[in-house]
Structure 1
Amino acid sequence: MQKKLGLLLTLLCMAIIGASAQQLTRFAVVDLPKIYTAFFKDSQAVRDFEQRSARVQADIDKMSAEIQALQKSRLDAASAGDQQKVLSLDNEIYKKTEYLKEYYRIKTAELEDQKKKLTQSDTFLKQVYDEIRIVAESDGYSMVLNLKESSGILWYSPTVDITDKVINNLLTKAGR
């Protein structure tokens, strides 16, 4: 009888160990750029970025309009046969066009740098990663992959996308 009980206990222990060893790893995916856009768009830093971007675009539009006006004047001077004025306007158009190209290049780089800094802010990233961890743990996921940076993801079921849940939790905690 004791041998049977010992054998039964051994089999029961082996079954429990075997069942726990076969636990499946569950993966989730998250779209970080979507989270940044949805949660971070109303912050002061983003509003400042958008205002700066609008100012730069207004400057570019103004310079482009000036160049177009000069080109129209050049055409009028060419039609009138005033070669001296045509050469002068060609020179001015060239200088303003080169300045516009350089301005555009520099300001675009500055705006891209500012945008990158916004999305990589330590406090913001910590808040997002903490919320991803909370959602993943509460839903039983062992690993979360960034959907936009994981080139190895060929297919995923929408049921494992926790992006919207993370956004909702962040917005709730922010009081929005």
Structure 2
Amino acid sequence: MKKIFLVIVVAMTAIAANAQKFALLDMEYILKNIPAYERANEQLNQVSKKWQAEVEAINTEAQTMYKNYQNEVAFLSNEQKKAKQDAIMKKEQEASELKRKYFGPEGELFKKRSSLMSPIQDEIYNVVRDIADLRGYQLVLDRASDSGIIFGSPKIDISDEVLSKLGYK
């Protein structure tokens, strides 16, 4: 009987020792309350609109060239047709390359977003890590991006604490 009781006590102690602490945060909520993030987003939107207008202007130019070509095709020699077709294709390629340069996976918008957002995200990460270390959390989940969280107690949400340590609210 004493052996069974001892085994149960040891098992309960092992379970208690391995109990993990969790916390939740809402990254969307945190970011909405950081003015620098809002300014960075506005900057990105403005530059994106500017670059999109440049791409659209070249596309419009290519479309105009094509319409003019269609209107003139009956009057052009084969050499002139070829030259106009080449010019239209070159203009379309120019638009495509510019679009890739600005909006591609390694494009200017990606680089600009990284340069503007990385410092903010790094600062948030460092504060979350500090809070986790201080309180002994083994895992901090983002309730905004994880659709697998059905319910999270507000008691374990550290979003306001993160904002407070960042100097907001």
Question: What is the TM-score when the length of structure 1 is the normalising length?
Answer: 0.62
Q: In structure 2, what is the equivalent of residue 64 of structure 1? A: 59
Contact 1:31 1:148 in 2 (8 A): yes
Q: In structure 1, what is the equivalent of residue 168 of structure 2? A: 174
Aligned residue-pair number: 151
The yes-or-no answer on 1:156 pairing with 2:149 is: yes
Contact 2:55 2:95 in 1 (8 A): yes
Output the CA distance in 2 between the equivalents of 1:31 and 1:87. 58
Output the CA distance in 2 between the equivalents of 1:29 and 1:135. 11
**Distance of aligned partners of 1:103 and 1:47 in 2 relative to their CA distance in 1, 3 Å threshold:** same
Output the CA distance in 2 between the equivalents of 1:72 and 1:120. 45
**Distance of aligned partners of 1:159 and 1:145 in 2 relative to their CA distance in 1, 3 Å threshold:** closer
Query: Given residue 22 of structure 1, which amino acid in structure 2 is its aligned partner?
Result: A
Query: Given residue 159 of structure 2, which amino acid in structure 1 is its aligned partner?
Result: V
The yes-or-no answer on 1:82 pairing with 2:76 is: yes
Cα deviation, 1:12-44, whole Å, max 9, x if unaligned, reads xxx8xx669615313234465x3675345422x
Aligned alpha-carbon RMSD (Å): 4.1
Cα deviation, 1:80-123, whole Å, max 9, x if unaligned, reads 332354333212111111211221111121111221232321x6
| Identical pairs, percent | 18
Higher Cα Rg: structure 1 or 2?
1
Equivalent residue for 2:118, pick from 111, 117, 120: 120
Q: In structure 2, what is the equivalent of residue 102 of structure 1? A: 97
SS in 2 for 1:42: helix
**Distance of aligned partners of 1:155 and 1:124 in 2 relative to their CA distance in 1, 3 Å threshold:** closer
Question: What are the ranges of 5 or more consecutive residues in structure 1 without an aligned counterpart?
Answer: 1-14
Question: What are the ranges of 5 or more consecutive residues in structure 2 without an aligned counterpart?
Answer: 1-8
Output the CA distance in 2 between the equivalents of 1:36 and 1:170. 6
